[in-house]
Amino acid sequence: MARLLFVIDPLESLKAYKDSTVAMMAAAQVRGHRVYTCEVTDLSLAFNHGAARVQVLAQEIRLAESPADADPWWTVLEQRPFGSEDFEVVLMRKDPPFDVNYLVATQLLDLVDRAGSWVVNRPAALRDHGEKLAALEFPELTPEGLVSAQISQLTDFAKAHERVVFKPLDAMGGSGIFVTQAQDPNLPVILETLTEYGQRAIMGQRWLPQIAQGDKRILLINGQALPYALARIPPAGASRGNLAAGGRGEARPLTPRDQEIAQTVGPLLARRGLFLVGLDVIGDHLTEINVTSPTGFQEIKAQTGFDVAEAFVQALETELKQRRPGQPKARP
């Protein structure tokens, strides 16, 4: 049995019937682990006499036997300050945006990681792998793209392709995504809005018509791909497959190309401390690498019977057994 601390958004904001973090917590509880939660602002640092210690205002919770059918789906057993050393695993599951509070939380969790608790995903790796930019480390897998704040450069990029996608670098769930073309009379205002008149870098990508067949989310656990992807299919006439934007989720077995992409990037990301990763793939192209709070657990289980959350908790247990008590795993 281990004590697992989930750093999350407010509990009342989580939708138990579809939230992957809730599925993780429920699977951990079934397997005998104790579940604790906190928000990023519940982390604090006390330092004096040459020593520093991260403290956490956390609550131990008990989930209902069937969280999706219960209201409320959790009960608080205890709430009090803890030392970070009280937890064997700390799971950073706060959704974007990657704002100042998120940045400070990763810096505090760096200290937790160094002190011996295992932080999933590694805080430094969260900072180093911007979810839109991280895929560009593998240009052979990605569609043509551009990252710039310069409206003239972005306009030229649109002119070079029949159709393009422009999106902010720090949003999630399909927020702020525009599909457009050079002839679009709204292109100037789209670029002015997204770049805040040239003061903010955004991403442009060549539009992939295969989006009509779905934007696939491939989940990696410790570098290994799970057997099913969740294809997010746009509604009729729409261009975004994100579930938060009205897309429909359809679980599918991985294709040979999906496997190739996963095998190319998965082991490297795992060595960097990214234990849970969500790859976004459209057609044959990798478009994003999601490291903050990858989702899709519950949809895949409901459609295929494969219990992603249980597989995740089992992988946590295997990794914990390989770590000496109180000692962080050697860094690459």
Question: What amino acid positions are annotated as catalytic residues?
Answer: 132, 167, 217, 232, 240, 280, 288, 290
Residue 87 exposure: Cα atoms within 13 Å on the Cβ side? 30
Degrees, nearest 5: CA angle 164-170-172: 80
Q: Say which residue the tokens 């006390």 belong to.
A: 46
Q: Say which residue the tokens 């040979």 belong to.
A: 256
158, 146 Cβ separation under 8 angstroms: no
The set of residues, in sequence order, having a beta carbon less than 8 Å from that of 205 and lying 6+ positions away, is 142, 143, 144, 145, 164, 165, 167, 287
Strand stretches in the chain, DSSP E? 3-7, 34-38, 43-48, 51-63, 74-83, 89-92, 118-120, 145-148, 164-168, 178-180, 202-206, 215-221, 224-233, 248-253, 276-282, 285-290
How many C-beta neighbours within 10 Å does residue 256 have?
Answer: 7
Q: State the Cα–Cα distance between residues 212 and 235, nearest whole angstrom.
A: 9
The set of residues, in sequence order, having a beta carbon less than 8 Å from that of 301 and lying 6+ positions away, is 23, 307, 308, 309
The set of residues, in sequence order, having a beta carbon less than 8 Å from that of 26 and lying 6+ positions away, is 63, 67, 309
Q: State the Cα–Cα distance between residues 33 and 61, nearest whole angstrom.
A: 11
The set of residues, in sequence order, having a beta carbon less than 8 Å from that of 82 and lying 6+ positions away, is 5, 36, 55, 56, 57, 58
Degrees, nearest 5: CA angle 11-17-20: 65
Is residue 19 helix, strand or coil? coil
